[in-house]
Amino acid sequence: MFKRSLLTLIVLFVMGASQSVAADDKADIKAMMKEKIGAVTTLIQDKETSKDVRNKKIEAIVTPLFDYGLMGRLSLGKKQWKKLSKQERADFAHLFEERVTQSYISKLDLYSDEVVAIDDAIKVKSRIHLPTHLMSKNEKRDILYKFYKSKKRGWLIYDVDILGVSLIQTYRTQFSGILKNDSFAVLLEKLKTEKS
């Protein structure tokens, strides 16, 4: 009887500890994103700073939040990724990161005093999702940041749903459309062209 009670206590303690860790992770992610989004918003609203300086500062804030390598692999698909040489993977990862970075930097000028509301983070299996909302007087746009835990870098964003559409899925559709008729070299060339 004593052994069974002790075992039950141990199980409950482990379960409680794991739930506490998950709760801390969710709270930490929300607090971290609130801080980063606040810093980016402040820079966007600063009319004294030149766009180039502003964009570099924003890039420095945002880039460490993302795992662009994983995003690129997911966008390309496991089957296609396995076919690539080490150099092709490196070239693609570099161009993919530049493409995503330029995409969000180019949209900064569209900001017009919207407010970002951040909900509580949600645990989804081993991942964490953070629902946020970009709110203006007439519109509310939902954005869902999806995090996974990297062994070396902690919690990182691996996908973003904008208005219910996955960024990864959007890129995968684009890339598979190109690769259906053309070679991987053509895809790289298109990414280079769009970058310049």
Residue 146 pLDDT level (bands cut at 50, 70, 90): very high
Max intra-chain CA distance, the chain: 72
Alpha-carbon distances, residue 175 vs 72, 73, 81, 184 (angstroms): 10, 11, 12, 9
Q: Could you give the CA distance from residue 172 to residue 170 in angstroms, rounded to a whole number?
A: 5
**pLDDT tens digits for range 108-143:** 877 777 889 999 999 999 999 999 998 988 888 999
pLDDT tens string 53-103: 999 999 999 999 999 999 999 999 999 999 999 999 999 999 999 999 998
pLDDT on residue 51: 92
Residue 195's pLDDT band (cuts 50, 70, 90): low
Under 8 Å between Cβ of 83 and 175: no
User: Which spans in the chain are helix H?
Assistant: 2-45, 51-62, 68-76, 78-83, 86-106, 167-181, 184-195
> How far is Cα 167 from Cα 77, in angstroms, rounded to an integer?
14
Angle between helices 86-106 and 51-62 (to 10 degrees): 130
According to the model, what pLDDT value does residue 138 have?
83
Chain centre distance of CA 162: 11
Per-residue pLDDT averaged across 15-36, rounded?
A: 74
- For residue 83 the two structure tokens come to 């076919």
Q: Tell me which residue range forms the domain holding 150.
A: 2-195
Question: What is the pLDDT, as a whole number, of residue 108?
Answer: 81
Spatial separation of the C-alpha atoms in residues 186 and 191, rounded to whole Å = 9
Distance CA 71, CA 148 (A): 11
Of how many residues is the chain composed?
A: 196
The domain that holds 112 is classified in CATH as: 3.10.450.710
Q: Is the pTM of this model over 0.95?
A: no
For the chain, the domain total comes to: 1
Find all residues with CB under 8 Å of 114, minimum gap 6, and list them: 134, 135, 136
Closest listed residue to residue 90, CA positions, set 104, 72, 66? 72
Query: What is the structure's pLDDT at 136?
Result: 85
